[in-house]
Amino acid sequence: RRVHGIQYLDTIMEPTPQKFDMAIITTLEHRGLKAIETRKLNAFFNYEIFSTVDQIKSMPTPSKYKACFLMTYGTAINPSDVPLMLEEFIKRSPNLIWIHCEMAGVDHLFSETLKKSKQITLTNAKGAYDSSLTEFVLLCILFFCKKMPLFLKSKAQHKFEKQIVDHAIGTKVGIIGYGSIGKKTAIMLKNALNAEIYAINNSGKYLEEDQKILTFMGSEKDIPNVLSQVDYVVDVLPQTPKTKKVFNLELFKKMKSSAIFINIGRGGTVVESNLIEALKTGIIAGAGLDVFEIEPLPSTSPLYDMENVLLSPHSTDKTGDMLDLSMNVFAKELSNFVAGRPLENVVDVNRGYQYIRILNKPVSYTHLTLPTKAQVQISVVAVSLKK
C-alpha cells in the first residue's frame, strides 16, 4: 500500500504512447538504473545518462529534455561539480520543467540560474530517510543516559568501575528544525520514552496532530529559551543562508552543562571550532554527530579523540534499502507528473527547503500544456482507487 506509486504504474495506469524525455545525471554503474528497469519505470520516459560536465556541454541546444533526475550520492562524481553540471544543463534546456533529487538535502544544487527559472520545480526525497535518522537520535540519547563514555574508558583500562546510570524516561528533548524528520523523531521518542518535546519551526505554527506530541512549539526567537530547558538538543536544520552557523558559542552557553548536542541536519549550521571548545571546557556534556562542516572530516580534527563524542561518518542514512526508499518516492512523483497532478515534495528554491506543507495550502502546477482526455481519465481512476 505504501508503494502505491509503483502499483499505479504497473497495474492500473497504461503507459502512454507519448513518452517524455528525461536526463539522468549519474554514473553508468549506479544501481538506480537497474532499479528503474526492474520497476518498469522506463515505460513512461526515454532517458539518457550524463556523467561529466563535458558531456552536458556537448549536448545539442535547445535540448528536448523535460525532466532531470540527479543520482549522484555515493558515486565517483565530485560533489563540487554537480552544481556546475546543473547550471549548464538548465541553460541548454528551455523545455525543462522538473528536477528530482535522490537525496533529502538539496542545498548543494542552488544557483542563480535555478532561482531565476520559474518554470522549474525541484523535488527531493522527503520522508525516505526519516526512520533511519530517528534511530540514530534514540541511540545517542541512550548512549549518554547510560554513561557509556565512562564504561568504554574503564574497559580500555581493564578496570571494573561501577557508575550510576540515568533513566531515559521523561527526558526533555529539543528539536530544532521541525519538519518531516523532526515529526518522526517526536513520535518515536514520545512512544518509546514519553519524552517532552520542545520544537522549533520557521513560523511557530503547528497542525492539530502535532498538539498531542509536542509540549511547546516556537520560532527562531524562542531558541535560547528552549535550549536552557532541555537535556538533549537535536539539530535537524537544512543548509540555507538563514541557518548558516546558527549554533555558536553563545547558544552553547545557554544550554545546560549536562546537555547533549545531536546533529543530523547539516554540518554548516554549527561552528565546529566553537563546538569543540564547548566540549573541552565543559560548557556542554557531549555530542552525537552524523554530519560535519567538511566531509570527509580531516584527520587533524580533535573530534576524533574526544571521549564524550559519538561519531558516525554520515552513514546513518546508508541502510541496505536506501535505494528502494528513494525509488519509492521517485515513482510516486513520476505518477503525479504523468497524471498532471501537483507534485508533492516540492522544495521552495528561494527559502531552501520545503515550505508549502506547513502552510497546508494546495498548490497547482501545470506540467503539461493541457491534460488530454486519456490523462484525465487515468487521474480520476487513480484518485478513486486511492480512497
Beta bridge partners of residue 261, listed in sequence order: 233, 287
263 touches 143 (CB < 8 A):
no
Is 319 a residue that touches other proteins (CB under 8 A)? yes
190 binds other proteins (CB under 8 A): yes
Active site residue 30: no
Q: Is 208 in the site for other proteins (CB under 8 A)?
A: no
Q: Under the phi-then-psi rule, with left for phi > 0, alpha for psi from -120 to 50, and beta for the rest, what region is 163?
A: beta
Nearer to other proteins, 276 or 381 (CB): 276
Residue 304 binds to other proteins (criterion: CB under 8 A): yes
Which residues pair with residue 260 across a beta bridge? 232, 286
Cβ nearer to other proteins, comparing 94 with 170:
170
Minimum CB distance to other proteins, residue 318 (Å): 5
Q: Does 6 bind other proteins (CB under 8 A)?
A: no
Active-site residue, 4 included: no
Q: Pick the catalytic residue: 266, 272, 333, 367? A: 266
Q: Which residue has 522538473 as its cell numbers?
A: 98
CA distance 241 to 262: 21
> Which listed residue (311, 356, 368, 381) binds other proteins by CB under 8 A?
311
Alpha carbon distance 329, 272 (integer Å): 33
Interatomic CA distance for residues 178 and 212, integer angstroms: 15
Q: Return the C-alpha cell found at 335.
A: 505518477
Q: Which of 14, 295, 324, 348 binds other proteins (CB under 8 A)?
A: 295
Among 131, 215, 225, 248, binds other proteins (CB under 8 A): 131
| Burial class of residue 340 in the structure, from the number of CB atoms within 10 Å of its CB (0-12 exposed, 13-18 middle, 19+ buried) | middle
- Judged by CB under 8 A, the residue of 91, 92, 146, 242 near other proteins is 146
Among the listed residues 46, 211, 281, 315, the single contact to other proteins using CB under 8 A: 315
Write down the least CB distance from residue 177 to other proteins, Å. Answer: 21
- Active-site residue (options: 4, 92, 314, 357): 314
Backbone φ and ψ for 346, nearest 5 degrees, come out as: -85, 135
Distance CA 15, CA 320 (A): 30
Is there a catalytic annotation at residue 314? yes
| Alpha carbon separation from 280 to 82, 230, 259, 277 (Å, rounded) | 37, 20, 14, 5
Contact residues toward other proteins (CB under 8 A) are: 131-132, 135-136, 138-139, 142-143, 145-146, 148, 151-152, 154-156, 158-170, 188, 190-194, 295-297, 299-301, 304, 310-316, 318-321
